Structure 1
């Protein structure tokens, strides 16, 4: 047997091992256990939002009968209560571990759907490995925020929406009622799919059910309070829009960091910070509209869904991060949904290759974890190395957005294949 033949057999054997369901699921469990352990024991409190903020809100509801989002205004949509309340099922002592168990369970559902999409050829195994690598790169914040649940449901939604638009519409609407950003995925699907009416109807029906339940539980205007609660926020230190202001603070240019006790986050004050915060919403709206116009033109040109939808999902998702005055580290986790969809579309449906955004997302995750949670205090102290890392992360968001826009433009300019 020649060396080439031996090499081919070895590679085939390795590929067989790496695509075996037992190996994939074993890796899934190990990754989640490692991240869960870091969440529980790290002195940097990566689960701080869960154990200090979410648990406090649930204490108010369970012990005092005052429920956020129903009886009082809240920063999150109504369905965000579900995983927070469910985590109290075994008592407050086990709140964090119950949260992590639920997070692992919802991720397992998304992982199972992802692997099922690749049968019988196990074609989605590379995408599954990418997701595990991305979770490790992003670190404990991948499990220690409400975004975990919205992202996992969104992953399932985008993976099924082409073949089962009604189910996809329902799932993405549910995800949007946990954390608002998956509404962008609904918009992309409505724009790009021929079954747009089905998606839209399913999303609206789901929202109507959520609102009806909220009204029955006694909610009123508070059900929509998540829309206005964020409007008064200042410029958060990790926002891409705050990059220049952070370096101005480092240089002693009159900009400083302060802690907002109402919003519970670190923000910036100084020359230009209020303007940047005020411009963030108009810029975000313009970016989303611009992406929507590109998507509309591509649809009018009859571009295939496999070519259009991955870039459209990605562009809209990154726009929500890049032009946002909030830059929380968990936002990076949103990238999993559009990139997994893009990787699967490229593998199964002949869509555009998605390796570049996949690599960029892992780098974004790694820079995010470097900054938060381990060295966040140094960032607040305007440490030069941490500022470079944060700036690099923010620049990569811009590069990823440019890639997605370029992909949309390329889709428009490519002549449709003759039938």
Structure 2
């Protein structure tokens, strides 16, 4: 009974905090027409763009020759889902389903955090960190994608097969969840997770190809993207405007991109850095020797951070992914990513200052706008470097865990599987 009282207090506080913050986010969504909140541009993506795509998808085809459609075919199912609630408008149904996904992530993190040797810090990070993005998470489908990534990671300890399926479904919706399987412990767990992920991805893509026309039309538009204003390369070019660079900002491919001299070179450099990041992760995987229960979580966060900072695009909703992965890391007392989670929280708050609060200054390339985006990206870059360094160190030399914390986590893969024997 005493233990129940001890553990129920934090859970009740978590529930109260989630309800209060989500009510605030909904209130901001209603007041979204205020200039400081983006003048309605945050929610416009749902009631104008998503709803338009819903109409196209309802006809049994994916958007073609639409430069804004750059998502894998699984995204179509997410955008069609509000149609399951016909008594609500499309916008209302989309927001409701996003809140359900948000609640599911919170519950999953809380359940994982209450297990022996685990922590509720992850659930607290998600519940308290997401509102730092104001109402924007409710008007994007990245919460649903993050829910699949979180589910994959939390399922790893108990069922690598289930983790593989969740990871594959997430990748079919928005590629990055494929990275959550990077840190699966060697041996049978890796073979099981990766083989089931491959099978699930192939099966879901085959079904979508049978049900819809042009499921891979997104590849053409994704390949045509340039350098977004908020990326690391875009930050450098934006600063170069103060040194006489003659480029400008233009809305294309669904975001504000820079056009002008040397943009193609910067875009190519970004792709090269992404390839280098992938190579670095492969090297880590081959040389890793010691896998703790938190290694899959830490590896997923490091991988997504590296791919984020080297991307040609760093949209504000990318912080939703990072918050979810950092939250999973904090459910484990073995994680080495606690300082990284702090940097991600700081970057999340700074990202809100960039968009929507001061986005006009960022587009105009004023010094305050340039310094804001520079600070946000510096935090993300520092988080990516620190995350990978701590991941590398933790898997090259086993961490010394105090006896009081050396408790087995439920579902931990046996040591023989961890060493690949």
Which band: TM-score by shorter chain? 0.7 to 0.9
Query: Structure 2: how far apart are the matches of 1:274 and 1:328?
Result: 19
C-alpha separation between the residues in 1 aligned to 2:247 and 2:187?
Answer: 46
Measured after TM superposition, the shift of residue 320 of structure 1 is 1.4
Mapped contact 1:236–1:325 kept (Cα < 8 A): yes
Bigger relative CO (Cα 8 Å, ≥ 6 apart): 2
Deviations 1:233-259 (A, max 9, x none): 111001122111011124442122112
Per the alignment, residue 140 of structure 1 pairs with: 135
Unaligned runs of 5+ in 1: 1-11
Equivalent residue, structure 2, for 1:297 = 287
Q: Following the alignment from structure 2 to structure 1, what is the Cα–Cα distance between the partners of residues 51 and 393?
A: 47
**Alignment correspondent of 1:154:** 149
Task: Give the Cα–Cα distance (whole angstroms) in 1 for the partners of residues 87 and 243 of structure 2.
Answer: 45
Could you tell me which residue of structure 1 aligns to residue 241 of structure 2?
249
Give the TM-score of the pair, scaled to structure 2: 0.85
Q: Is the 8 A contact 2:126 2:327 kept in 1?
A: yes
Q: Deviations over 1:114-169 (max 9, x none)?
A: 11113356953222111122102222222221212101121121111122111111
The DSSP-based 3-state class of the residue aligned with 2:107 is: helix
The corresponding residue for 2:374 is 391
- Flag structure 2 segments of 5+ consecutive residues without an equivalent: 401-414, 416-421
- Residues in 2 aligned to 1:250 and 1:67: alpha-carbon distance in whole angstroms: 45
Residue equivalent to 2:339: 356
The answer to whether the Cα contact below 8 Å between 1:158 and 1:337 also exists between their aligned partners in 2 is no
Question: Structure 2 CA distance, aligned partners of 1:246 and 1:70?
Answer: 32
For residues 205-257 of structure 1, what are the alpha-carbon distances to aligned partners after superposition, in whole Å with 9 as ceiling and x for unaligned? 211221221232143xx323333421111110011221110111244421221
User: Could you tell me whether the CA contact under 8 Å between 1:40 and 1:47 is conserved in 2?
Assistant: no
CA shift at 1:321, angstroms?
0.7
Whether the aligned pair in 1 keeps the contact of 2:152 and 2:180 (CA below 8 Å) is: no
1:230 and 2:226 correspond? no
Matches within 5 A, 1:277-316: 277-298=267-288, 301=289, 303-306=290-293, 308-316=295-303
How far is 1:309 from its partner? 2.5
Change (3 A) 1:416 1:193: farther
Residue number among 304, 312, 318 corresponding to 1:331 in the alignment: 318
Task: Return the match for 1:166 from 158, 161, 176.
Answer: 161
Query: What number of residue pairs does the alignment pair up?
Result: 392
Show the counterpart of 1:202. 196
| Contact 1:70 1:223 (8 Å CA) reproduced | no
C-alpha RMSD of matched pairs (Å): 2.7
The separation in 2 between residues aligned to 1:408 and 1:269, in whole angstroms, is 37
Q: 1:107 to 1:394 in 2, by over 3 A?
A: same
